[in-house]
Structure 1
């Protein structure tokens, strides 16, 4: 099989080869784009599990440690630190996971998500 049988040669034989190459490259790019998009969107809902070395005590942890908890961002971590500063030193601000619901923006769902990573000792 020669190139003459693959590409129809006429006056514009060279042009047909260039057009064929362009169309082939375009199709390959489209297929690769679709494959990449499907692989990215397929993992969109998957999150990495949180791996903590130890449990976090919300009564003593700094904001940098609190942001490692699921659903707790930098702003919410600062609010937790400020909230516990308003309590007496002889009584902790948080004695159980449900107490963290006293923080504005943290409800039962978030408290339930972070409960396995909290300690109150």
Structure 2
């Protein structure tokens, strides 16, 4: 309700709303907020993209991950290691790590962490 009363919604207000939804387990709502934000000509920054990819991770939907991956490439976010690591998490959640093309030290570390978690979970 407070968000709706804000007259000049900027990136910070959209991000606060999106974060609140992600923190409260409302990943679907977070993705809708991201779409609404974009429809209102508010373009995300790196921090917003990492949070959106976190919501995408919670959903574990490959098609959504692929769409966000395309947006990350078009938006020039792929050079950011945090965004790259978040994409790896999303693809790993979907069981599709082979789709990744950009791999640096952070991304390799993220992939290793995902694989170790899978190994530990399967051995218990």
- Which TM-score bucket, shorter chain as reference? under 0.3
TM-score (norm 1): 0.21
TM-score (norm 2): 0.21
Return the structure number with greater relative CO, CA threshold 8 A, min gap 6: 1
| Structure richer in helix, relative to its length | 2
